[in-house]
Amino acid sequence: MRDFFTDVDWSRWSETAWTAGARVIVVAVAIFIALRIIERLIAPAIRATVSTQMAGESQSEIDKRVDTLSGAANRTLSIVAVAVALLTILPEFGINIGALLAGAGVVGIAIGLGAQSLVRDVLGGLFILAENQYGRGDVVQLAGTSGVVEDVNLRRTLLRDLDGTVHCIPHSAVTVSSNMTRARSRVNVVVTVPHGEDLERVFEAVNRTGEELARDPAWSGDVTSAPKVLGVEDLRPGGIDVRILGETLPNRQWDVMRELRLRLKKAFDTAGIRLAA
Can you give the pLDDT at residue 7? 52
3-state secondary structure of 69: helix
Can you give the pLDDT at residue 67? 86
CB distance 183 to 197 below 8 Å: no
* Direct distance between the N- and C-terminal alpha carbons of the chain, in angstroms, rounded to an integer: 77
Q: Residue 251's closest CA among 56, 66, 58? A: 58
CB distance 96 to 4 below 8 Å: yes
Question: Can you give the pTM of this predicted structure?
Answer: 0.66
CB distance 239 to 227 below 8 Å: no
Rounded distance between C-alpha atoms, residue 6 and residue 19, angstroms: 19
Can you give the pLDDT at residue 103? 58
List Cβ neighbours of 209 (8 Å cut-off, separation of 6 or more).
227, 260, 263, 264, 267
Q: Residue 125's closest CA among 61, 75, 62, 198? A: 75
Rg over CA atoms, the chain: 29
Render pLDDT for 54-71 as a digit per residue (tens, 0 to 9): 887 777 778 888 888 888
Rounded distance between C-alpha atoms, residue 37 and residue 41, angstroms: 6
Q: Where are the alpha helices (DSSP H) in 190-229?
A: 199-215
What domains lie within the chain, and their CATH numbers?
Answer: 2-114 (1.10.287), 133-179 (2.30.30.60), 185-271 (3.30.70.100)
Burial 195-229 (b: 16+ CB within 10 A, else e): eebeeeebbebbeebbeebbeeeebeebbeebbbb
Rounded distance between C-alpha atoms, residue 250 and residue 60, angstroms: 9
Can you give the pLDDT at residue 159? 95
Per-residue pLDDT tens digits of the chain, which is 277 residues long: 445 455 555 455 555 556 666 777 777 888 888 888 888 888 888 888 888 878 877 777 788 888 888 888 888 888 888 888 777 777 766 666 666 566 555 556 555 555 677 778 888 998 998 888 999 999 999 999 999 999 998 889 999 998 999 999 999 999 999 999 888 899 999 999 999 999 999 999 999 999 999 999 999 999 999 999 999 999 999 999 999 999 999 889 999 999 999 999 999 999 999 999 7
